Amino acid sequence: KNNHRINEHGHLEINGADTTRLAEKYGTPLYVYDMEDICSRAEAFKQAFEEEGVGYQVAYASKAFSCIAIIELMDELGLSLDVVSGGELYTALKAEFPPHRIHFHGNNKTPDEIEMAVKAGIGCFVVDNFNELTWLMAITDALDTDMNVLLRITPGVEAHTHEYISTGQEDSKFGFDITSGQAEDAIVQVQDHSRLNLLGVHCHIGSQIFETTGFVSAVREVFGHLDQWRAAAGFVPEVVNLGGGFGIRYNEDDEPLPLQSYVKAMVNAVKEEASARKFPVPEIWIEPGRALVGEAGTTLYTVGSRKSIPGVRDYISVDGGMTDNLRPALYQAKYEAVAANKADQDRTETVSIAGKCCESGDMLIWDLTVPELNQGDVLAVTSTGAYGYSMANNYNRIARPPVVFIRHGEDQCVIQRETYENMTSLDRSLKQIGAQVQ
Ligand code: LLP
């Protein structure tokens, strides 16, 4: 892995920081992010667009990992930001991210969230359905504020890990259906509203995609409809947003493409379609989440108890699990791990890594080959940077781990470890409320 090496103590080192020392200093579980890895991925996306000579925005999908420090970093890198809730928007504003580079997504934005976004002066509102469009119109009117709008449509291309299925009618909770004329109605409504400026269209075909073909199909599908909408409503898009979903390497079965190749394929498809249909080449926006932060993150755990079932399996339990990484339990996601304090030792046994939650499904990794692991050893699970902290939870009242950034070998704690006190701080005691217990 980039920036991962084994140091003279036989310890896993990430970008110059000894993970065993980090585990001692901060305790475990601990999320560790390699800043340089994130920077080089952001640069790769940007550079690919620069080379293609098209207008673009790369918006970090903050659902993958949102906190003040990561948003500050994305700002430093000149990226835009995709938020999908009042909470993500609040975090972005608190991080002083420039509002004009914030894009607001979601299939059920509430009037309060819409008002918050309009008041903040965000750069773009991605309209998902007629309900929120009606609210957006009323709120922009009431606040006398203009808003740029993208319409989210479902292009009938759904990309899953390795294949994509082209369907005539997309069955999805997101966006306007394009086959029934709803998207066209929405375009007309936005155009007719003086406070709204229709910038273009948005689509997102899926996640953890390892081929460019799905994106190319989406571009073709979208432009097919754009022709129709130009004829019917005179609509010519300034922006086509193709969403995120660029695949990363979680384990050895995953073979991600260089990030540039997605960009090149998209840009070429957009240029071709635009020229064939006599559209000006629009700006191309993308929204990577996982591809920016996923491989940069590593979770450190301490090994605890061990259960050997002779001839069957050895369970090694660690001090975290589905509370800090829900993905194995939710999606049967497969991860790799190394013994951080024994990274130079031969892998002599096969064990399964269990989390500490009271739930049989709380298994982080099945059948991992490792050096002999004992209580107190540090296990590093790699590629946990996306949808790890952001989907962390307090099941079993387990506290959320802290997050440490590594920049040029220096560690900086950017999210503190949650405490038991934090977890009970919103609770109200019946005694305090004065309720009758019986
Ligand atoms: N844009 C839109 C409109 C999206 O819905 C998503 C992800 C993204 C961008 C970013 O996708 P990415 O580049 O990160 O794949 N919790 C799941 C992922 C759900 C993603 C939902 N939308 C997981 O852990 O894999």
Q: Which two tokens stand for residue 221?
A: 């599908």
Higher pLDDT, residue 1 or 385? 385
Same structural domain, 276 and 345:
no
Same structural domain, 232 and 122:
yes
Same structural domain, 94 and 25:
no
Compute how many other C-beta atoms are within 10 angstroms of the C-beta atom of residue 361. Answer: 12
Residue 318 lies in a domain: yes
Is 387 labeled as ligand-binding? yes
pLDDT given for residue 158 in this prediction: 67
Span 353-372, average pLDDT: 98
Same structural domain, 154 and 19:
no
Same structural domain, 306 and 236:
no
pLDDT given for residue 298 in this prediction: 98
pLDDT given for residue 171 in this prediction: 76
What is the CB-side half-sphere exposure of residue 310 using CA atoms within 13 A?
0
Q: What is the mean pLDDT of the chain?
A: 95
pLDDT digits (tens, 9 = 90+) for 29-62: 999 999 999 999 999 999 999 999 999 999 999 9
Q: Check if the beta carbon of residue 292 is closer than 8 Å to that of residue 245.
A: no
Nearest partner of 89 among 103, 78, 108, judged by Cα: 103
Span 375-380, average pLDDT: 98
**Is the CB of 328 inside a 6 Å radius of any atom of ligand 1?**
no
SS3 content of the chain, % helix, strand, coil (to 5): 35, 25, 40
Strand 313-318 relative to strand 349-354: parallel, antiparallel, unpaired?
A: parallel
Catalytic status, residue 358: yes
Q: Of the residues 273, 293, 313, which one is the last residue of a structural domain? A: 293
Look at residue 90 and tell me whether its pLDDT is greater than 60. yes
ipTM of predicted assembly, 2 dp: 0.99
Nearest C-alpha to atom 16 of ligand 1 is from which residue? Answer: 387
Q: Of the residues 293, 315, 350, which one is the last residue of a structural domain? A: 293
pLDDT given for residue 288 in this prediction: 98
Same structural domain, 132 and 79:
yes
Q: Which two tokens stand for residue 37?
A: 């890895």
Residue 389 lies in a domain: no
**Is the CB of 256 inside a 6 Å radius of any atom of ligand 1?**
no
Higher pLDDT, residue 438 or 81? 81
Task: State the residue for tokens 């892995």.
Answer: 1
Nearest C-alpha to atom 5 of ligand 1 is from which residue? Answer: 204
pLDDT digits (tens, 9 = 90+) for 148-200: 999 999 887 766 654 444 443 467 888 898 888 899 999 999 999 999 999 99
Same structural domain, 204 and 347:
no
Same structural domain, 356 and 337:
yes
User: Which of the listed residues 102, 157, 207, 210 should we mutate to test ligand 1's pocket, taking the one with most ligand atoms within 8 A of CB?
Assistant: 207
Is 331 labeled as ligand-binding? yes
Residue 432 lies in a domain: no
What is the span of the domain harbouring residue 361? 4-29+297-384+401-421
Domain count, the chain: 2
Q: Which helix (H) or strand (E) holds 20?
A: helix 19-26
Look at residue 77 and tell me whether its pLDDT is greater than 60. yes
